[in-house]
Amino acid sequence: MDSLKIENLTVTVNNKIILKDFNLEIKSGEIHAIMGPNGTGKSTLTKVIMGDPTYKIKKGKIFLNNQDITKMPVDQRARLGIFLGMQLPYEIEGVSNADFLRTALRSKDENFKLYSFIKELDQKVKDLKMNPDMIHRGINEGFSGGERKKNEILQMHILKPKIVLLDEIDSGLDVDSLKIVGNSVMDYYKEKKPAILLVTHYQRLLDYIKPDFVHVMDCGHIVKSGDASLVKEIEKFGYDKIKKSSETKLEETKINE
């Protein structure tokens, strides 16, 4: 079983605290959804786990299977099996999707088989209802927002990560594409049982990707956790009531102490 554990993590960017004393653990076979208002550190969390050097870790640790990866560069984290499906995927000219994925697989698999790779790539492109020509174009070159998100999920299927981070993978998707992407993520989950950390603002994606745990973030840390029923509470009452409820419980705990 694989486990990603975050302990007392405080992170800054441009000397501004984004994450504060953040704690979370996700394990193989678990789907965790992170929700919350804009600017609370949700996307930052995924980038810090992936190793984005823009963000400075002031204290705390990140562990993958009890190995401290806090200072590990992005490429090493990827080789260990961490994958980030980005909110705003980059466009890279001159490197085709097929070349990128083939090179990535060869770098970590001595038994790489070209025929098997091509066969699987073609099938996943078909499943995601992508234009087959896209795999021979530069990465995300000329892709729409929805096509870029599908391309992120294509990469997930081919690279087969143990820890999947999805940062607002639903943004830019129309109704049909949302269903395709959501079902594709669940297909991968059922097949490989990875740990999934999903950042989203909306319930609609969670109609397809069923979370085991839902966490509400505010001011850089988790203020409430629950099961999937917490999503309905958010839809009904909004984040303000959840935040106030959390603050009330915290005050009661201090009084009792």
The tally of domains found in the chain comes to 1
Amino acid making up residue 179: K
**How much is the pLDDT for 111?**
87
CATH code, domain carrying 52: 3.40.50.300
Task: Number of helices (H) and strands (E) in the chain: give both, helices first.
Answer: 8, 12
DSSP state of 201: S
Phi, psi (rounded to 5 degrees) for 115: -60, -45
Amino acid making up residue 177: S
In a domain, 130, yes or no: no
**How does pLDDT run across 246-257, given as a tens digit for each residue?**
554 434 333 344
Domain that holds residue 193: 3-89+160-256
**How does pLDDT run across 26-47, given as a tens digit for each residue?**
999 999 999 998 888 999 999 9
Please answer whether residues 40 and 11 qualify as being in contact, where contact means their C-beta atoms are separated by less than 8 angstroms.
Answer: no
As a whole number of angstroms, the distance between CA 79 and CA 161 comes to 9
In a domain, 164, yes or no: yes
Report the chain's terminal Cα–Cα distance, integer Å: 37
